[in-house]
Amino acid sequence: MPTIIVLVRHGETDWNRQRRYQGHADRPLNERGRGQAVELANALADEELSAVYTSPLRRASETARIIADRLGLALEEMEALREIDVGDWQGLTVDEVRARFPERIDVAWRSGWENGETHDELAARVVPALLDLGRRHREARLLGVTHAGPIRAALMAALDVSLEELRERFGPLENGATFRFAVSEGRLERAS
């Protein structure tokens, strides 16, 4: 039996609603985001999860706390689940980025951000951490509360696709989106 890791994207923040790049900014959930976390907790109640891991960023850890409390599980922060660092774009809206960085708007999401991280750097911290959870929790079901970037990194590894292919297949990842992965024989795979 493989280890199953259920990755969920945190609930909504005001910056999500305003379409601001959050990156490592430590923004709290808004009222809708807290409601999404309660909905996630209810949806996950029958999953028989044994542990909850979370990004240390507040929007994820608040989501994780609501879920963990509802399910009666301990919560552990995991630095590897932190969102990608968007560098100089942090806090800016899409329109502000277009005005300040017109030459980078179409390439940064593919290659990475100046004064931030690349997608390869993100994958290099996320994927090994998920595989390590699989080794530490054999045949268990785990929850990871994280962000769109780490979920995309896991999907790219599990499906062996590029970021462009992934975006074509899945589009934007909504707040509260849920994806299941299996860790089996040292590999990350998509699970149902």
CB proximity list for 178: less than 8 A, separation 6 or greater:
6, 7, 8, 9, 40, 43, 44
Active-site residue, selected from the candidate residues 10, 12, 117, 147: 10
| Cβ atoms of 158 and 5 closer than 8 Å | no
DSSP 84: P
| Cβ atoms of 71 and 46 closer than 8 Å | no
Task: Indicate the SS3 state at residue 58.
Answer: helix
Active site includes 39? no
Active site includes 83? yes
Strands 3-9, 178-184: pairing is antiparallel
Which tokens go with 80?
């590897």
Active-site residue, selected from the candidate residues 62, 83, 117, 147: 83
- Kindly list the catalytic residues: 10, 83
